Each structure stands twice: as C-alpha cells, then as structure tokens.
Chains A and B, each alone.
Chain A
Amino acid sequence: EAAVTQSPRSKVAVTGGKVTLSCHQTNNHDYMYWYRQDTGHGLRLIHYSYVADSTEKGDIPDGYKASRPSQENFSLILELASLSQTAVYFCASSDSGQIYAEQFFGPGTRLTVL
C-alpha cells in the first residue's frame, strides 16, 4: 500500500502569515493532489501535479500555491493565510491520472488560522 506522509500534522498560523504544508510519498507515484476539508463536508481539490516541476489548478486554487520539486514531494503554500483557510488538508497520490488509478491519502494536516 502507498505510503503518504504529511507534515506538520497540525499548525496554528496568524492571519497574513505564510504557511507551507508538506507531503511526501514513497511509492513512486506520478500524481499527487492537495485537498481541503471543511467541518462536516467532503474534500475539495486545490491543486494537483502529474510530474515534477509542474502543477495544475484544481477546483478551488485561489489563495494557494503548490510546488512539486521532485516526484516524492508536493507542497501547498499559503502566502497570506486567511481565517477562511482554516480547515483540514489532505495530500494524496496515485500511480496515474488515468482510469483505474486508486488514490491513497495521507493522515491530514489540521490548520487553524487566527
């Protein structure tokens, strides 16, 4: 089974500050994804990447940047954190973006912006 780890597991940030969330996968997957989950809701896709040094916008990219410096690592960057970005953030990876590719999720990062 794919191993996806995230750091930090929780973080408290101040409004206007910069936040970087990190994700690392060890199964040589091509695709990586960042989602956010608000309390009582499903996950929504922020950014994804299918190759190193390239990222794509998901459904809710505003206020977020992403960086894929290597196949194993994918970061989510909040340049100016806002209260509305308080949420749980999940990273995922899959072997391919094509059909029949299951996504494997990390444990999540709980971000609180004050």
Chain B
Amino acid sequence: GQQVQQSPASLVLQEGENAELQCNFSSTATRLQWFYQHPGGRLVSLFYNPSGTKHTGRLTSTTVTNERRSSLHISSSQTTDSGTYFCAIDYNQGKLIFGQGTKLSIKP
C-alpha cells in the first residue's frame, strides 16, 4: 500500500549540532506537510512543501518529487527543538497519510 517512511526513528544530538530528518514516499505526492509535535502533544505545521525548498528560521525543508523524498534540516539545534517530527503525504486522494515520526532529543 501507499506508505510514508521516516528515518531515523529517533535522534539524539548535542545542542548546536545540525539535524537531518528524512521522509520517503511510495508514489507521486500531491501534498506534503511537515509537522512538529510538542512533548505535550500540540501539533504545529512547519512546512507545506510538495516540491522544492523552503526556509523558515533555522529550518529548511527540501522535497525532490521525482525521487520521492523530502528532508527537514534543523541547523544549530536547541533544546527547545526536542519533540517528534512528522511527515505527511497526500497521494492525490484528498487525505494525508502520516509517517511514524522521528523523535528528536537535543541535550544541553
């Protein structure tokens, strides 16, 4: 079936290091969104990025549509970046399918 694979499942870094999160999908995506979930559960949309590169602050999302992959890069990580990051894909069905998430822990 149509899948969304995220890697790594978990990542532990020291504050100041860069983080690279990956999302791979199984067929053409018409919609792709990256989310951050706070440790307390609140879900925040980071990027709506079905193709190309987008930046906001220390975050960069790059989606290469024909290679069926997207990445989320966090530069100079901070302890407040800790949480779970989700990639979600729409395979032209009008609904999002979520990956399992990457749990990021930034140590001071």
Q: Which residues of A contact B (CB under 8 A)?
A: 31, 33, 35, 41-45, 48, 50, 58-59, 88, 90, 97-105, 107-108, 110
Cα of A104 to Cα of B95 in the assembled complex, Å = 13
Among A103, A107, A108, the most chain B Cβ lie within 10 Å of the Cβ of A103
Interface size class of B (residues with CB under 8 A): 20 to 34
Contact of B30 among A43, A90, A99 (CB under 8 A): A99
Contact of A90 with B43 in the complex, beta carbons under 8 Å: yes
Contacts of A42 in B (CB 8 A): 4, 86, 88, 98-101
Contacts of B48 in A (CB 8 A): 100, 102
Q: Which residues of B contact A (CB under 8 A)?
A: 4, 30-31, 33, 35, 41-45, 48, 50, 86, 88, 90, 92, 94-101
Contact of A102 among B45, B97, B98, B100 (CB under 8 A): B45
Cα of A44 to Cα of B88 in the assembled complex, Å = 10
Contacts of B42 in A (CB 8 A): 107-108
| A82 shortest CB reach to chain B, Å | 22
| A7 shortest CB reach to chain B, Å | 16
Contact of A45 with B96 in the complex, beta carbons under 8 Å: yes
Cα of A105 to Cα of B35 in the assembled complex, Å = 10
